[in-house]
Structure 1
């Protein structure tokens, strides 16, 4: 399991960390946003011969074409197998930069400096790496752990509210699947004014505990996918459209739909489903979409990585704070859950 460092002074802590590491060359991967807002925080504390690669920000650039550009940069810079990569950015940068590092020359070391709430509580922990392919989320990827993850609240100050809100969806999910008391303490009114350090540490501990018990998602780790089967379908369907959804916005939709399925399939009470729905709709504005899109959205669920054969596999709630995995649902039942969300 990677070392997770909660930093009070990210530049100084990174400099100290690097001073204790042995590497032939250092490279930093950023996107266009983190290059502007976050890279200056650490730039002067890096070795003078380090190099940097930046790609245009956004999920639409999380693909093999960008990977090819990163691999070319690594090759042109003559990175060998003792090189070290720093991924400075959100989930897209961590997923793709880690994937490129893990596959370059059969794998070089990397560390993550997650800069969004979403990546700090979710994407940076657990060693899942990958890129989107042919419109499917994280379709090509590997499992590989970073050497370390350094988490600092200072980067959250660079985020617009919608990005902070997107990360909050995963925070809510952690409470729903593992800790009812945690869920009960999360704010809906004034949600953006919270003790983020406390929340990040709690969410990371929940995810880390699950991942340590099941690193390769053969069983328990599947509960971390609550809300993601249908959520990823929404995210994928609108990925390249003007109605583009942020990850957390899509997962909020998915959690409402899958809470509905939880009532049907796993024993969640209707009263708890309503509590979940009310909380999510207080934080996330309801997404309006044409009813004609529903069949095409639902078909995308059949590409979810948890599926086996022709069944669509879900992780569902038995109650708030408890989640179980390997529930099957038909296409008709999934469509019913999406209609339920649309009609709220």
Structure 2
């Protein structure tokens, strides 16, 4: 596949990406290469990546534990200290080989280390390929509050290597599909309709759809890199979805939700709100609800969970002047941002979630 060129970065696919890295990762450009992995990608992805990487620059591997709970300032401090101990300088480069947690975290670590060094994303999950690694958003959580500290800095490049998808289980694949569904719902009804026929898609079809999803997001970012306006629509499903994800992160002895699972629930709930506010037709709401409910398991919320989720909305990054701002659907393929929603309607959405 041909590369996608975006603001300050380029996205390469498979062998073309490794050819570009071979040209980029030379002693003339970089003093040392640091590759950040978690314990899963170290075992399942690093050998394949290194077997395709040709460079004369010294390489250091840094491993952290996998999981959202690692995406915090404590891990950042540990990584900065390790990089200093291993001789990192302003001419070092950090390659982030992993899913969305690792690309968010690694991008933030690199963007702030010695006031910023180059970094490269090599996403290994579907979710990271189509969303987390794309667009220059880097950040960490504050406790269970998602992405409260961060920056927008573009990676030097992004390498999408489709072979890494073979390391994922079905649950991780579905999590990534949630973001692809979102791109169709907010931007392109024809793309949404393609994704709805999942059972008929071949592997090559999926790869083409991944590239199309990336292009849809890149087109938005090209108009609004710093999320002053249009880019906000990429947060559809995330106002409630992030609050749901944070709620389950805080719950002891509870099965944690993957990001895409929480976002799928958020998209159903926010589609209901869109319908009730006369923005979305009932027919399209039911289409979204039935399809997403068929792909993703229903999440069970207690009354206390719902109260906690509504409390967590106050920390959403889109909020302005103390007002919670939703992204809602005007129809499939078109979203609108900066929408105020009464709590009564949010409670009603949760009630409907269980009826469907």
Partners of 2:42 and 2:197 lie apart in 1 by: 32
Q: Report the equivalent of 2:13.
A: 6
CA-based RMSD: 1.8
Corresponding residue SS for 1:72: helix
1:221 has 2:231 as partner: yes
TM-fit CA distance, 1:282: 1.2
Normalization by structure 1: what TM-score?
Answer: 0.95
- Larger deviation: 172-181 or 48-57? 48-57
Specify which of 147, 156, 169 is matched with residue 156 of structure 2: 147
Specify which of 223, 230, 254 is matched with residue 240 of structure 2: 230
Q: Report the equivalent of 2:257.
A: 245
Partners of 1:96 and 1:87 lie apart in 2 by: 9
Normalization by structure 2: what TM-score?
Answer: 0.92
Partners of 2:192 and 2:330 lie apart in 1 by: 15
1:40 has 2:47 as partner: yes
1:286-301 equivalences in 2 (<5 Å): 286-301=298-313
TM-fit CA distance, 1:6: 1.4
Query: Alpha carbons of 1:188 and 1:294: their partners in 2 closer, same or farther (altered >3 Å)?
Result: farther
Question: What whole-Å deviation, never above 9, does each CA across 1:69-122 have from its counterpart, x for those lacking one?
Answer: 111111111211111110000101100000000000110000100000000000
TM-fit CA distance, 1:333: 2.2
1:1-344 equivalences in 2 (<5 Å): 1=7, 2-8=9-15, 14-19=21-26, 22-44=29-51, 45=53, 46-47=55-56, 49-187=58-196, 190=199, 194=203, 195-241=205-251, 242-265=254-277, 267-344=279-356
Corresponding residue SS for 1:29: strand
Partners of 1:256 and 1:112 lie apart in 2 by: 30
CA contact (8 A) 1:7 1:13 kept: no
Partners of 1:21 and 1:255 lie apart in 2 by: 47
Partners of 2:115 and 2:354 lie apart in 1 by: 46
Corresponding residue SS for 1:238: helix
Partners of 1:283 and 1:210 lie apart in 2 by: 26
CA contact (8 A) 2:27 2:56 kept: no
Query: Alpha carbons of 1:250 and 1:132: their partners in 2 closer, same or farther (altered >3 Å)?
Result: same
TM-fit CA distance, 1:48: 6.0
TM-fit CA distance, 1:191: 7.6
Query: Alpha carbons of 1:89 and 1:211: their partners in 2 closer, same or farther (altered >3 Å)?
Result: same
- Larger deviation: 261-270 or 14-23? 14-23
Q: Report the equivalent of 2:3.
A: none
Partners of 2:278 and 2:75 lie apart in 1 by: 41
How many residues were matched structurally?
344
Partners of 1:21 and 1:263 lie apart in 2 by: 57
